[in-house]
Copies of this chain bind each other. A is one copy, B any other.
Amino acid sequence: MTASSDTPTLPMTGEVISIGDEMTSGARLDTNAQWLSRRMGELGIEIQYHSTVGDSLANNIDVFRVAANRADVIVCTGGLGPTRDDLTREALAALANQPLVMKPSAMAHIESMFAKRNREMPARNRNQAMFPEGSDEIFNPQGTAPGVDITVTRDDGSRSRIFALPGVPAEMKQMFDDTVAPRIMESFSGANHIRHHVMKFFGTGESDMEERLGDMIDRNRTPRVGITVSSATISLRISATGVTPEACQSQIDATREEILTRVGEFYFGDGETFEQQDAIELLLAERNQSLAIIEYGLAAPLGDWFAALGKSHSYVGGLSFANAAELARMFGCDDHEIALATIRQNTGADWTLLVDSYPLLDHTSDKPVEPEEVRFLVTGPKVTNLNANASDTPEAGGNQPEFKRLAVVQTCADQLTECTYEKCVKLGGHPSIVHARIAKAAMAFLRSLLANQETL
Chain-B contact segment, one of A105-113, A281-289, A304-312: A304-312
Q: Is A321 an interface residue (CB 8 A)?
A: yes
CB nearest to A51 among chain B residues: B51
> Does A346 contact B320, Cβ atoms closer than 8 Å?
no
Q: Could you say which residues of chain B place their CB within 8 Å of the CB of A311?
A: 360
CB of A351 within 8 Å of the partner chain: no
Asked whether A320 lies within 8 Å of B297 as measured between CB atoms, the reply is no
Q: A66-B66, A170-B366, A273-B363 are in contact. Are A51 and B49 (CB under 8 A)?
A: yes
Interface residues on A, range: 35 or more
B residues less than 8 Å from A366 (CB atoms): 169-170, 173
Nearest chain B residue, comparing its CB with the CB of A59: B48
Query: Quick one: which of A24, A51, A297, A319 has the most chain B CB within 10 A?
Result: A24
A301 surroundings in chain B (CB, below 8 A): 304
CA distance A304 to B367 in the complex (A): 22
Q: Contact check, A318 vs B320: say whether CB atoms are below 8 A apart.
A: yes
Q: Which residues from 337 to 352 on chain A have a C-beta closer than 8 Å to any C-beta of chain B? A: 342-343, 346-347
Bound complex: CA A26 to CA B303 (Å) = 31
Interface residues of A in 58-78 (CB under 8 A from B): 59, 62-63, 66, 70
A195 interface residue per 8 A CB criterion: no
**A contacts, CB < 8 Å to B:** 18, 23-31, 33-39, 41, 47-54, 56, 59, 62-63, 66, 70, 142, 169-170, 173, 226-228, 272-273, 295, 297-301, 303-304, 307-311, 316-322, 326-327, 329-332, 342-343, 346-347, 358, 360-361, 363-367, 435
Q: List 10 A–B pairs whose Cβ atoms lie within 8 Å, in order of A's numbering.
A: A25-B38, A26-B36, A26-B39, A27-B38, A301-B304, A303-B304, A303-B318, A307-B320, A317-B322, A317-B330
